[in-house]
Amino acid sequence: MASPPTRARADYDYLIKLLLIGDSGVGKSCLLLRFSDGSFTTSFITTIGIDFKIRTIELDGKRIKLQIWDTAGQERFRTITTAYYRGAMGILLVYDVTDESSFNNIRNWIRNIEQHASDNVNKVLVGNKADMDESKRSAKTNLNVEEVFFSIACDIKQRLAESDNRAEPMTLRINQQDPAASNGQAAQKSSCCGS
């Protein structure tokens, strides 16, 4: 019976999991839609629990698959969303530049990161709704949206590449004859308790 064909090579070099966090209504879902789909909606989108989108980008000749998780900002979903902090490689803390309380709450979101995320997670602070007059601000014009996602992805890719380079392969030799034994000298055997 013929063996199954080998799997084709993955369509990306790195998989990076990003997490969008921040108060309800700051525009996390709009940022995600703008970046992943290139679209924008003027209607308010309430995220129930958690949602995600995927976009593959290219950085320095490497294909990076971004898995971007959009969390609900409401307190009632906090226990659901904190479970997603653990696997995140990068976190985008989003606040609304027209809402001072959403900026002040960033320190609470940072405490959540310190409690639930890994120590080496990359973080970036994103001020949303800065592209129009105060009465109509939104992520509508795509101002710096691409740049913020590419920037954090680049930093994480660099961190992953550096850790790959530091991990030296370990060589293990099995059934190699003891040089002393090959010279006619018997090697002493050790036992569990030294007897």
Q: Which residues of 65-95 are buried (b: 16+ CB within 10 A; e: fewer)?
A: bbbbbbbbbeeebeeebbebbeebbbbbbbb
Looking at residue 189, its pLDDT comes to 46
> How many independent structural domains does the chain possess?
1
CATH number for the domain spanning 84: value is: 3.40.50.300
Please check whether residue 76 lies inside any domain of the structure: yes
Neighbouring CB atoms inside 10 A of 9's CB total: 7
Enclosing domain of residue 38: 14-166
Looking at residue 163, its pLDDT comes to 79
CB-based contacts of 96: which residues, under 8 Å, 6+ apart?
A: 23, 25, 26, 27, 102, 103, 127, 128, 129, 137
Structure tokens at 30: 């709009």
> Can you tell me the distance from the alpha carbon of 122 to that of 124, in angstroms, rounded to the nearest whole number?
7
Please check whether residue 177 lies inside any domain of the structure: no
Give me the average pLDDT of each 10-residue run along the chain (195 residues).
46 90 87 76 59 86 90 59 81 91 93 90 90 57 81 90 68 54 47 46
Please check whether residue 62 lies inside any domain of the structure: yes
Please check whether residue 157 lies inside any domain of the structure: yes
Please check whether residue 184 lies inside any domain of the structure: no
Alpha helices in 97-139 (DSSP H): 100-104, 106-116
